[in-house]
Amino acid sequence: MTETMNALVVGERGGPEVFELREVEIPETRPNQVRIRVRAAALNYSDLQIAGGFYPGHVSTKLPYVAGREAAGTVEAVGEGVQGVSEGDAVMSLGVRGAFAEQAICPAGVLLPIPESMSFEQAAGFQLAHLSAVAAVETSGRLQAGETILIHAAAGGVGQVMVKLAKHLGATVFATASTAEKLAVAAALGADRCINYVEKDFRPAVLEATETRGVDVAVDTVGGDVLRRTLDVMRPYGRLVIAGNASNSPVTFSHYDLLSEYRCSLIGLELGTMILQRPDLMAGVRSRFRQLVDQGVFQAQDPSVFALEDGQSALRLMAERKTIGRVVLVP
């Protein structure tokens, strides 16, 4: 008799409404894979973009599929060729196939042990947010002490870590968010100037504070009009890291714009692509991540927790930008 489990399944393209709780078969473990019993799975905005057919590299994801890519749990089964991992181990992982379920498959090579001081809920969203922050702020943005950085969506899971890392590096941080509550979170993390980008244009505030020079580094995960306006506050020959497009709005401009007006570096960042295409860079990101954890700069935070059956509601809140920090689902 085939064993089954509960999972959030995407059966058609769309928004939060297409994530449905279904009973599906428990996936088989193949060579170099492990199957984990999921104790908590983290929501990422990319989960919504994949479902909508917008996310780079996942536009043609075959339907239906079990959603979710990041989780923490205990090892349930070990595939052929896997070494250094045993059943019962507490692990957190990126690259999970079908994390929004009671059990999920992931490559053995991306597993990390969960420290005893960290809960499953904290661990579920820890790795991706912190690796992404290092990749954006240091590896791509090359932020240095004394420089200025503009961070959009600064109260999000990744945004909060970027603020914390930028302050650790000795930078002046300009943070934007969509509500006063979110701005308070960024301020508590040390952001020097917090701006509500919904209520007012952030450009005058940034240019005034930098005496019209603009910022040395910016990290944008919003895209659309926010990205277009960010170009206006870049210091000549600064570095603009494009690490997402939550607005799902494309921005077009000619190379003459860069030659005559903006004159800054544009750096696209997608962590999955870095893992596959530049393992050398990713090795440096992982090494720096571990160093910052050991130094106590990166510490686990308690996320917002929803039951798996309430996953659609949690994703709707994320789509409406009503979440702060990490959000996890618990089967």
Report the SS3 class of residue 256. Answer: helix
Report the SS3 class of residue 137. Answer: helix
- Taking CA 165 as the corner, what is the angle to CA 250 and CA 299, rounded to the nearest 5 degrees? 115
Radius of gyration for the alpha carbons in the chain, expressed in angstroms and rounded:
20
- With 0-12 / 13-18 / 19 or more C-beta atoms within 10 angstroms meaning exposed / middle / buried, residue 331 is buried
The β-bridge partners of 193 are 174
- Domains of the chain, start order: 4-125+303-330 (3.90.180.10), 130-274 (3.40.50.720)
The β-bridge partners of 218 are 150, 240
- pLDDT, position 18: 97
Q: At 47, list the tokens.
A: 């989960």
- pLDDT, position 139: 97
- pLDDT, position 302: 94
With helix as H, strand as E and coil as C, how does 84-125 read? CCCCCCEEEECCCECCCECEEEEEHHHEEECCCCCCHHHHHC
Q: How distant, in Å, are the alpha carbons of 75, 107, 221, 274, 276 from that of 79? A: 11, 10, 36, 26, 22
Per-residue pLDDT of the chain (331 residues; tens, 9 = 90+): 679 999 999 999 999 999 999 999 999 999 999 999 999 999 999 999 999 988 876 655 789 999 999 999 999 999 999 999 999 999 999 889 899 999 999 999 889 999 888 999 999 999 999 999 999 999 999 999 999 999 999 999 999 999 999 999 999 999 999 899 999 999 999 999 999 988 889 999 999 999 999 999 999 999 999 999 999 999 999 999 999 888 888 888 788 888 888 889 999 999 888 988 999 999 999 999 999 999 999 999 999 999 999 999 999 999 998 999 999 999 9
Give the Cα separation of 90 and 39 in Å (integer).
10
Alpha helices in the chain (DSSP H): 45-52, 120-124, 126-134, 157-168, 180-188, 202-209, 224-231, 255-257, 271-277, 279-294, 311-319
- With 0-12 / 13-18 / 19 or more C-beta atoms within 10 angstroms meaning exposed / middle / buried, residue 243 is buried
